[in-house]
Amino acid sequence: MYNPKSLKAEEFINHEEILETLEYAEKNKNNVELIDKILEKAKELKGLSHREASVLLACEIPEKINEVYALAEQIKKDFYGNRIVIFAPLYLSNYCVNGCVYCPYHHQNSHIVRKKLTQEEVKAEVIALQDMGHKRLAIEAGEDPVNNPIEYILDCIKTIYSIQHKNGAIRRVNVNIAATTVENYKKLKDAGIGTYILFQETYHKESYEQLHPTGPKHNYAYHTEAMDRAMEGGIDDVGLGVLFGLEMYKYEFAGLLMHAEHLEAVHGVGPHTISVPRVKKADDIDPDTFDNGISDEIFEKIAACIRVAVPYTGMIISTRENEKVRKQMLHLGVSQISGASRTSVGGYAEKERPHDTEQFDVSDQRTLDEVVKWLMDMDYIPSFCTACYREGRTGDRFMALCKSKQIQNCCHPNALMTLKEFLEDYASPKTKEVGEKLIEKEIENIGKDKVKQIVRERLKKIEQGDRDFRF
Residues that bind ligand SF4 (CB under 6 A): 85, 96, 98, 100, 103, 105-106, 142-143, 178, 217, 383, 385-388, 407, 410-411, 414
Contact 150, 182 (CB under 8 A): no
What minimum distance in Å lies between the beta carbon of 29 and ligand SF4? Answer: 33
What minimum distance in Å lies between the beta carbon of 201 and ligand SF4? Answer: 7
Cα gap 329→304, rounded to integer Å: 8
- Would you say the C-alpha torsion 227, 179, 276, 58 has a positive or negative sign? negative
What minimum distance in Å lies between the beta carbon of 115 and ligand SF4? Answer: 13
The neighbouring-strand residues paired with 383 are 85
What minimum distance in Å lies between the beta carbon of 377 and ligand SF4? Answer: 21
Cα gap 195→239, rounded to integer Å: 6
Is 299 or 384 the residue whose CB approaches ligand SF4 more closely? Answer: 384
Cα gap 142→165, rounded to integer Å: 28
Query: How far, rounded to the nearest angstrom, does the alpha carbon of residue 50 sit from its chain's CA centroid?
Result: 20
What minimum distance in Å lies between the beta carbon of 104 and ligand SF4? Answer: 7
Contact 298, 249 (CB under 8 A): yes
What minimum distance in Å lies between the beta carbon of 67 and ligand SF4? Answer: 28
66, with CB counted inside 10 A (0-12, 13-18, 19+), is exposed
Is 340 or 411 the residue whose CB approaches ligand SF4 more closely? Answer: 411
Is 100 or 122 the residue whose CB approaches ligand SF4 more closely? Answer: 100
What minimum distance in Å lies between the beta carbon of 281 and ligand SF4? Answer: 15
Q: Smallest Cα–Cα separation from 307: which of 336, 339, 279? A: 336
Is 29 or 212 the residue whose CB approaches ligand SF4 more closely? Answer: 212
Is 41 or 114 the residue whose CB approaches ligand SF4 more closely? Answer: 114
Is 105 or 249 the residue whose CB approaches ligand SF4 more closely? Answer: 105
Q: Smallest Cα–Cα separation from 243: which of 256, 230, 231, 260? A: 256
Is 240 or 410 the residue whose CB approaches ligand SF4 more closely? Answer: 410
Is 29 or 135 the residue whose CB approaches ligand SF4 more closely? Answer: 135
CA distances from 172 to 31, 121, 175, 198, 292 (A): 45, 19, 10, 17, 35
83: helix, strand or coil: strand
Continuous H helices in 333-407: 368-377, 387-390, 395-403
What minimum distance in Å lies between the beta carbon of 256 and ligand SF4? Answer: 18
